[in-house]
Structure 1
Amino acid sequence: MDARQTGPVADSLDRRIISALQIDGRASWHRIAAALGEAERTVVRRGTRLLDSGLVRIGAMALHGRSTVVGVRCASGQARVAASALARRPDCVFTHVLTGSPDCVAELLCPREQLPSLVMDELPGLPGMVETYTLPVLRHIRTIREWHSGLLTDAEIAALSGRHPSDASASSPSSGDVPSSSAGDVLPPGDMAQGLSRPDRLLLNALAEDGRCTYEELGRVAGVSEATARRRLGALRREGRVRIRAVIEPALLGLPVEAMLWVRTAPAKAEAVAAALADSIHVRYASFVTGERQILVLAALPSESALHDFVTRGPWLRDVASVDTSLVIGSLKRGGMLTRRARD
């Protein structure tokens, strides 16, 4: 049992509830309690406290466009300014300020046909920018939408994600509007957003503000019945058009050290490195990107000594030629939601 803490996250049960919300941000307290084998009243009390604290937020991210990672080298003292400008873009998934170079990095959802405009017209106008690096994502190995911190068993994850524990490659939900948790994130087509009706767009806008708002509230905002709102959200989740999960600082789960890794490997060994990275609970995000260093990794660990071990002794390093490591020293956006640092 973890030692009691004075903050909103008190012990391992709180962390397990957070982990459950990372699997499905709209899971009922009843379902979470059943999956974790805890009393429902306890889960309701603790879960409500975690959400009310503001440190755990439930966000919905509509998936449209293709991912592009942007690194920015900034003028002295301008990293926060440039990172803030990136974070406030509606197509931005995450923005982190880093040690070393680049000074900040962001993932943007940009249809490929709009990439020339992004590179030639929009990014050059970033305040405080000296140089930008644009790295289109060729394939996700893992996104933060699939990451969990290893606090839940396979059976608990299966109970929350609606699939059998042994079915690691399930691609369709077994019931309700609960999406399956896939091993990798399927890149959506660039025109996905164009296929959404006005009620669907209104529904997703409401979920972006509060991923746990009721179907009655969603129906009222979208101008449809509660039953229609339930049916439309279920369809959007099954089609992979939206992901709903807890957005947190990894420190809440005992992982306060975050690092961005730029990994270079021989092309023939890239898939083996990717598979090894996907096996690590410390890898929150990993993608194949264009450029000299083929794999970009965001990792979260309990200490800097653990990070040292991860980048010098990890089993995933067997086929790696080089690793450049930058510490994350500030996050302005996570999971499509501005952090408290960015909102203040």
Structure 2
Amino acid sequence: MDDLERRLLHALKIDGRVSFSRLAKVLGVSDQTVARRYRKLQTEVSLRVIARSDARLLGTYEWFVRMKGGSVAVSRTASLLAQRPETSWVSLVSGGLEVVCLVRSTDARGEQQALLRHLGEPPQAGQVAAYDVLHTFLGERRLWPGLKSDLDDEQIKQLTAGLPEPVGAEDLRITDSDKALIEALGEDGRTPLQELALVTDSAENTVRRRLEHLRACGALYFDLDVDYHLLGFDALALLWLAVRPQCLVPVAEAVARHPEVSFVAATTGGANLLASVICRDNSHLFDYLAHQVGEMEGVLYVEVAPILHIVKRVVAPAGVTV
């Protein structure tokens, strides 16, 4: 990528629905140039702008499923999980001998048990476990440092000026139309208002107002989905850390500040902290583990699960059931 394309990615991270004309003005290029570079990034790094929703505000639960076994069973399970509407980020890890995915549901206990029973049936039989997400310290709202560009303060100010003013979410009520809106934007965050109006069976002005309200409440925000391997980052991994309880918060907050890290959450289970890391190569990953994670007080052990392939990236919609 050249500097313009990095600025474009940075700008879209700030406001995923910003118009091409506004982007062109901020970046100092033509509308046609912005559109052409956007299409180029779609092709070369699998760029997608997608909507994400706050599970807490939507009244849903998040948990990770891990299944270990033979390569054939794991591959079949990955395909099975990828087909389910409540799953996202289905990944083959550890040389293809394990599948990990994030599940969002409305009933933590009942739906979790139903899914685990289903996965435990042949031919998916293997070691299956689920870990509840207790608290997210770092999610997708923050710009991952690897995508940062040289946008100056004035350009960032122009982009943020178009965002709705934050408001409290105390009285937020999610309707069926909201769920349909969030699901459609989870597939393509830049879906035009006309199409969103059809999906939600609402007038365009109604969709616009509701979209602005959901963003203002923090229930809905936009993120970039890119293939980091195509950006030159070849060592992606999940880290399952076991941390002393009294050190959990300071360790999690410290890990969340590391430039290699894109996600950090406290979970149930023997390993009580999960981090997703993005490194240039294995040497970079080793240095990170040895000189940053390995020297942190309170970390008892770290299990490294290299990500071999991401089978499904689509974000789970709101209000799904198993």
Band the TM-score falls in, shorter-chain normalisation? 0.7 to 0.9
Q: Supply the distance in 2 between the matched residues of 1:27 and 1:204 (Cα, whole angstroms).
A: 17
Pick closer, same or farther for the CA change 1:177–1:214 going to 2, 3 Å. Answer: farther
Q: Supply the distance in 2 between the matched residues of 1:149 and 1:156 (Cα, whole angstroms).
A: 19
- Please report the TM-score for the alignment, with normalisation by the length of structure 1: 0.77
State whether structure 2 residue 99 is matched by structure 1 residue 99: no
1:159 counterpart residue number: 157
User: Is the contact between residue 22 and residue 246 of structure 1 (CA under 8 Å) also seen in structure 2?
Assistant: yes
What do you get for the CA RMSD once the two structures are aligned? 3.0
In the TM superposition, what whole-angstrom CA distance separates every residue of 1:193-236 from its partner, at most 9, and x where no partner exists?
xx433332332333233211222222233232222211111111
Q: Supply the distance in 1 between the matched residues of 2:79 and 2:165 (Cα, whole angstroms).
A: 33
User: Is the contact between residue 186 and residue 314 of structure 2 (CA under 8 Å) also seen in structure 1?
Assistant: no
User: Is the contact between residue 58 and residue 247 of structure 1 (CA under 8 Å) also seen in structure 2?
Assistant: yes
2:131 counterpart residue number: 135
Cα distance, 1:20 vs structure 2: 2.9
State whether structure 2 residue 304 is matched by structure 1 residue 325: yes
2:212 counterpart residue number: 234
Cα distance, 1:156 vs structure 2: 7.5
2:231 counterpart residue number: 253
Which amino acid in 2 is paired with 1:97?
Answer: L
Q: Supply the distance in 1 between the matched residues of 2:250 and 2:159 (Cα, whole angstroms).
A: 27
- Structure 1 unpaired stretches of 5+: 1-9, 163-173, 181-187, 338-344
- Please report the TM-score for the alignment, with normalisation by the length of structure 2: 0.82
The 5 Å alignment of 1:79-98 reads 79-98=74-93
Pick closer, same or farther for the CA change 1:54–1:118 going to 2, 3 Å. Answer: same
Q: Aligned to 2:145, what secondary structure does the other structure show?
A: coil
Moved more, 283-292 or 39-48: 39-48
Moved over 4 A (4+): none
The 5 Å alignment of 1:142-181 reads 142-150=138-146, 151-152=148-149, 155=153, 158-159=156-157, 162=160, 176-177=163-164
Which of 221, 242, 255 is the matching residue for 1:264? 242
Q: Supply the distance in 2 between the matched residues of 1:160 and 1:303 (Cα, whole angstroms).
A: 36
Q: Supply the distance in 2 between the matched residues of 1:333 and 1:133 (Cα, whole angstroms).
A: 19
User: Is the contact between residue 20 and residue 160 of structure 1 (CA under 8 Å) also seen in structure 2?
Assistant: no
User: Is the contact between residue 73 and residue 131 of structure 1 (CA under 8 Å) also seen in structure 2?
Assistant: yes
Cα distance, 1:179 vs structure 2: 7.0
Q: Supply the distance in 1 between the matched residues of 2:103 and 2:284 (Cα, whole angstroms).
A: 30
> What fraction of aligned residue pairs are identical, expressed as a percent?
27
Which amino acid in 1 is paired with 2:315?
Answer: G
Q: Supply the distance in 1 between the matched residues of 2:97 and 2:71 (Cα, whole angstroms).
A: 12
Pick closer, same or farther for the CA change 1:121–1:214 going to 2, 3 Å. Answer: closer
State whether structure 2 residue 63 is matched by structure 1 residue 68: yes
1:118 counterpart residue number: 111
Q: Supply the distance in 2 between the matched residues of 1:33 and 1:178 (Cα, whole angstroms).
A: 23
User: Is the contact between residue 93 and residue 306 of structure 2 (CA under 8 Å) also seen in structure 1?
Assistant: yes
1:26 counterpart residue number: 17
Which amino acid in 1 is paired with 2:312?
Answer: K
Which of 206, 217, 232 is the matching residue for 2:184? 206
Which amino acid in 2 is paired with 1:18?
Answer: L
User: Is the contact between residue 71 and residue 97 of structure 2 (CA under 8 Å) also seen in structure 1?
Assistant: no
Q: Supply the distance in 1 between the matched residues of 2:165 and 2:115 (Cα, whole angstroms).
A: 37
Q: Give the structure, 1 or 2, with the largest relative contact order (CA under 8 Å, sep 6 or more).
A: 2
- Structure 2 unpaired stretches of 5+: 317-322
In the TM superposition, what whole-angstrom CA distance separates every residue of 1:99-141 from its partner, at most 9, and x where no partner exists?
1697111111123xx2332343222212523121111111001
